[in-house]
Amino acid sequence: MSGSPHQDDQQRIGLLRNAKRVVIKLGTSTVTGSQGELSLERIEPIVHAIATLQTNRRQVVLVSSGAVGLGRGWLGLHSARLKDMATKQACAAVGQSLLMEAYKRLFGAHGVKIAQVLLTEEDFSNWQRYSNLRRTMEKLIGFGVVPIVNENDTVSTAELETVGDSPRSVAFSDNDRLAALVMSGLEADVLILLTNVDGLLRTETSSKHKRTGSVGRPQVIPLISKVTSELRALASGPSESGRGGMVTKLEAAEIGMNCGGVAVIANGSRAETLPRIFAGDPEGTVFLPSSRMKGKRRWLAYAAGVRGRVVVDAGAQRAMTRGKASLLSSGVIRVEKPFGPMDVVSIANVEGNEFARGIANCASEATATTRVLFTRDNIVLLEREP
C-alpha cells in the first residue's frame, strides 16, 4: 500500500541509498551515436559510476543494447534500412565483439573485470536453465565481476522481430524486459533503465492552456506506486533508434515492482544521473515496490515461455481467483493452443483475457481423461489492472 507523498519519498530515498544489488540497462540511444559509433561521451561517465558503485560494495549487472547499431555502423549500413533478419543478425555478430572490446577497455581503466553473458529465450522459458543461469551469475558477482548481458541476437530472433500489440508468448522480446527478468532471477534491489528521455512524462494542462488551446510542457512523473491504465496510456510506441520505447520500459518497471524491488526510468545522457539516483536525489521516474512474488511464481508470471492456452468458465475462474483452487478439467471450455506435460500454459476467461498461468500436469489431448490439469502450487494469478 502507498503511504503519503512524504512517506513514499522517504521510502524511495532509503531504498536507493541502501540498495546492494543493482541491474542497469542501457538503451541503444545511450550506447550509440547517430552514425552507429560508440558514444564515449555518454558511456564513460556510466562506466565510472558503475565502478564507483562497486567500490562502495554494491553489486552491479549491466544489460547493454547497442550491438546491432555498432555492427551496422562498422559495416557502413547506418543509412540503410535493415530489412532481412540475416542482415540484422550479422550486424549483431559484428557489433557484439565491438561492444565487449569497448567495455573491457573502459572498465579495465577502473580495475573492474567484466564477463559477457549472451542469453536466448530458452534460458528463461525452462526452469532448470533459469536456475542454472542464476547460479552462474551469482558466481560471477561473487568474483567481483560485472556481468554484461545482452540477447544472443546472432542465433535468437525474439528481440530483433518487430514488437506488435498482441500479448507476448515469449520470455522477452526487448532488453528492457530482459533486464527485468535478470533482476527477478537475481532478486536484485533496483532496476535502472537508462534511455534518452528524463522519465515517464505527463503533459500538465492549466486553465490558461485550456483557454488558449495550447499544450503544456511535458513534466516528469517523479514517483509511482502503482501502474494504472492511465499510465499505460501515457507510454508511447517504439523510439527512433531503440526497439522498445516507453511501453516496454513501463512493463519492465512493473515487473521490478512485483519482484519487490525499485525501478527507475532516467536519462542516460547526463553524467550525474546514476550518482544522483543512488544518493537519493530526485532523478527520473521511480517506481516503488509492491508485494514480492516468490521465485517459482515470479518465473511463471514473467520469465516462462508460454506454450499453450486454455479458456475456462466463470466458475473455474472464481474458484482459482477467490478460492485459490486447482484447475479441473471440468472447468475448461476449450483448448486454444495445444501443449505438452510440464509446459507453461496461459489460462484465460470467457472474455479471452489471460488471468493466470500454470504448469500442465498432462498434454492437451489428455484433458478429457485427467481430472486435475493444473495443481494450485503450479498456478500463478496475474494481478494487473485492466
Q: What is the pLDDT along the chain (386 residues), one digit of tens a residue?
A: 456 778 889 999 999 999 999 999 999 989 998 888 999 999 999 999 999 999 999 999 999 999 999 999 899 887 667 778 888 899 999 999 999 999 999 999 999 999 999 998 888 877 788 889 999 999 999 999 999 999 987 776 555 454 333 344 445 668 999 999 999 989 999 999 999 999 999 876 545 545 555 556 789 999 999 998 889 888 764 444 445 579 899 999 999 998 899 999 999 999 999 999 999 999 999 999 987 777 778 888 877 778 899 999 999 999 999 988 999 999 999 999 999 998 899 999 999 999 999 999 999 999 989 999 999 989 999 865 44
Q: Is the dihedral of CA 173, 271, 225, 378 positive or negative?
A: positive
Question: How much of the chain is helix, strand and coil, in % rounded to 5?
Answer: 40, 20, 40
Asked if residue 38 lies in contact with residue 31, where contact means CB atoms within 8 angstroms, the answer is: yes
**Residue bearing cell 528463461:** 124
Please list, in sequence order, all residues whose beta carbon lies within 8 angstroms of the beta carbon of residue 140, skipping any fewer than 6 positions away.
115, 117, 147
* Domains along the chain with CATH numbers: 5-298 (3.40.1160.10), 306-381 (2.30.130.10)
**Residue bearing cell 466463470:** 314
Q: Distances from the Cα of 14 to the Cαs of 153, 253, 280, in angstroms?
A: 38, 19, 7
179 phi and psi, to 5 degrees? -60, -40
β partners of residue 149 = 63, 117
Q: Exposed, middle or buried: residue 150 (CB in 10 Å: 0-12, 13-18, 19+)?
A: buried
Instruction: Compute the CA torsion angle 12, 256, 40, 30 (nearest 10 deg).
Output: -110
Per-residue model confidence (pLDDT) at position 299: 82
Per-residue model confidence (pLDDT) at position 155: 73
Question: Left (φ > 0), alpha (ψ -120 to 50) or beta: where does 144 sit?
Answer: left
Per-residue model confidence (pLDDT) at position 47: 98
Per-residue model confidence (pLDDT) at position 36: 85
Asked if residue 360 lies in contact with residue 340, where contact means CB atoms within 8 angstroms, the answer is: yes
Asked if residue 204 lies in contact with residue 129, where contact means CB atoms within 8 angstroms, the answer is: no
Look up the pTM and report it: 0.83
Please give the distance of CA 354 from its chain centroid, rounded to a whole number: 20
Instruction: Dump strand ranges (E) for 102-162.
Output: 114-119, 146-151
